[in-house]
Amino acid sequence: MGHLNSIDLPEPGTKSSSAGQPAKSRWWVWVVILVLIAGGIWYYRGTHSTSEAGGTPSAGGAGKGKGGFGPGMGNFAVPVVVAAAQKGDLPVYLTGIGSVTAYNTVTVRSRVDGAIVKVNFTEGQFVNQGDALVEIDPRPYQVMLEQAEGQLAKDQAQLHDVQVDFERYTLLFNEGVIPKQQVDTQQAQVGQYLGAIKADQATIDNAKLQIVYSHITAPIGGRVGLRLVDIGNVVHAADTTGLLVITQLQPISVIFTLPQDQLPQVLPKLRANALLPVEAYDRDDTSKIAEGKLATIDNQIDPTTGTYKLKAVFSNADNKLFPNQFVNCHMLVDTKHNLMIVPAAAIQRGPQGTYVYVASAGKVKIQTVTIAQTTGNNVGVAAGLKDGDVVVIDGQDKLQDGSSVLTTMAPASGTKGSTSQTANQGGAEPTGKAAATPTGEKAR
């Protein structure tokens, strides 16, 4: 710095030398270099001292420890979600897609010709058997009835006349006044009028029947659909289009299909008159709609799909099932007893077969298991687990045998292994219940 102070400054009014400018530029360069060096030394010392005090591992070591596969694996606990295995019964369900079908469907048609004069129902109304629906003009048939009754009265009067003559001819024949042929002829006339009276009575009955047919009533109980013919239209008995359609909704049936390979599980129970429970679920197969019973199965297998049809009957008291509605059917055919039930998410597969990670004392070990039954989100294990074992259901991708873990018990509901409503009906223990047991405290 003393050397810089000894620089000769140019006199006023004289031009500076060309050597003075480079010297001034070098002075700023040296100042910047010294500042950068000082900052670098300060940053290095501060970072190095913090690293030694905190014992932070290198980036490479941290990466291996986090993944659980490096040399530092034992120094880090992998966070996982666990659930407790629980002993219980697991239902065996056969599932298939189906369609709701009305138990009975009737297209109401007119049986007489005439104009519609009255409609006694509203569209969508529930009606009972015998309720009045439509009235067709009955006056033509009342006229027919009166004519038939008049003809009957006439024939009855003539019958009385020929009967009196027959009795008179019989007396005269007994006295030998008239021949037998005349008596027989009179007797034949009596028979003719008796036949005419029967024909008149049939005509009367037919006219009365036409009058009854002109008042159309509900043949079954059910729900009325849209009206197909309005008041004032003339309908005929030969019309192919009906007046309305009634569908019976209580009870109601569901037609669903199952693979032909599952027929041996169903047929023996059906022959033994077992009432197999059937549950109908919505399109997403998440919410149960109704419960019913298996009624029968079809008498043949569809060769194009390799499936067979089954029919289940539901009471449908709450009218949740509607004709042609798409449903998923779950049919209970059996129940597996005394199995260790764990969530399906706990099951892993590898070269050694199926296995689970069992958590104990802050570490996990690989345990091979034998699966007996899978129902919904639950798996029944026949061998390899005991009641209360805590298995890992989430985070297995970061584990290996002997890894340290930090366990979190799965909530009682909403877990991956939670049992569906269908499985609960069959007697299986809900996975959420197993997850909420105090067994998880041991894992922690």
Cβ within 8 Å of residue 45, ≥6 positions away = none
The more confident residue out of 322 and 5 is 322
Q: Indicate whether 252 pLDDT > 50.
A: yes
CB 114 within 8 Å of CB 137: yes
Look over the chain and give the mean of its residue pLDDT values, rounded to a whole number.
81
277 forms bridges with which residues in the sheet? 293
| pLDDT at site 436 | 35
Query: How would residue 35 be classed by pLDDT, with cut points 50, 70 and 90?
Result: confident
Which of 232, 237, 201, 202 has its CA nearest to residue 216?
Answer: 237
pTM above 0.75, yes or no: no
Instruction: Provide mean pLDDT across the span 51-59.
Output: 40
Q: Going from the N-terminus, what domains does the chain have, and what CATH number goes with each? A: 73-90+337-443 (2.40.420.20), 95-103+244-335 (2.40.30.170), 110-136+215-241 (2.40.50.100), 138-213 (1.10.287)
- pLDDT tens string 285-298: 889 999 999 999 99
The rounded distance, in Å, linking the Cα atoms of 84 and 359 is 10
Helix (H) or strand (E) holding 167: helix 139-174
- Highest mean pLDDT (candidates 34-38, 49-53, 71-75, 163-167): 163-167
**Sign of the torsion angle spanned by Cα atoms 298, 304, 306, 307:** negative
Is residue 206 classed exposed, middle or buried when 0-12, 13-18 and 19+ CB atoms within 10 A define those classes? middle
CB 91 within 8 Å of CB 377: no
CB 370 within 8 Å of CB 382: yes
The rounded distance, in Å, linking the Cα atoms of 242 and 246 is 11
For residue 65, the SS3 value is helix
The more confident residue out of 385 and 65 is 385
The rounded distance, in Å, linking the Cα atoms of 215 and 208 is 11
Q: Say if residue 251 is preceded by a cis peptide, omega within 30 of 0.
A: yes
**Cβ atoms < 10 Å from Cβ of 87:** 17
Q: Indicate whether 412 pLDDT > 80.
A: no
Q: What angle do CA 99, 102, 105 make, to 5 degrees?
A: 135
First and final CA of the chain: distance in angstroms?
A: 69
